[in-house]
Amino acid sequence: MTLAINLMLWGILAALAVVAATRGRIVLQQGVREGAVDFLRLLPRIGLGVLGSGFIAEMLPRELIGPWLGPESGVTGIVIATLGGALTPGGPVVGFSIGAAALKSGAGAPQVIAYSTAWALYAVHRLLLWEVPLMPARIVWLRAAVSLPLPFIAAAGAMLLGKP
């Protein structure tokens, strides 16, 4: 599966390079340059996040993770994971590292899916620091309200599909 995903990503990259090349050599060169700069800037963050998730996974007490977020925790675990996702500050390196660490420590896939979905949709710090100051509050709260069931729907879908 990993090989298939890697091949698909390389194929998409090649297709994008061909499209850029058809638009001109300068477009291709700028795309490569900007992509390389972004890659070099993000690589240390991703590496630190992956290493950090390993440390977090080893430090998380497995005797607490299993009962509260394990596969047998059910709806209670999904609620806890959803609240945790909503309250987790930081960007993708933080959010996904915590999710990966929880999986390594015995959390269930539906619970981690609920966590990452809640983190992505309505992390409280983003609502208060970015969305409310930049958009009308009514729109922000309406968006948050209609997003509330989505972590639960995603977790239920994972349960229906079986163990990923």
Residue 30 confidence (pLDDT): 96
- How far apart CA 140 and CA 132 sit, in angstroms, is 6
pLDDT at position 76: 95
Structure tokens at 136: 């009308």
Q: Which tokens in the block code for residue 23?
A: 């638009």
pTM comes to 0.74
pLDDT over 80 at 163, yes or no: no
pLDDT tens readout for residues 84-115: 999 988 888 788 888 988 998 899 999 999 99
**Percent residues over pLDDT 90 in the chain:** 59
Mean pLDDT (the chain, rounded): 90
Q: Which two tokens stand for residue 12?
A: 């998409």
Assign 164 a pLDDT band (cuts: 50, 70, 90).
Answer: low
Of residues 44 and 93, which shows the higher confidence score? 44
User: What mean pLDDT comes out for the span 119-137?
Assistant: 90
For residues 23 and 6, give the distance between their C-alpha atoms in angstroms, rounded to a whole number: 26
Q: What is the pLDDT of residues 47-83, one digit of tens each?
A: 887 787 778 777 878 888 888 999 989 999 999 999 9
Interatomic CA distance for residues 106 and 95, integer angstroms? 17
- Quote the pLDDT of residue 80: 96
Please choose, from the candidates 71, 43, 69, 44, the residue with its C-alpha nearest in 3D space to the C-alpha of residue 57: 69
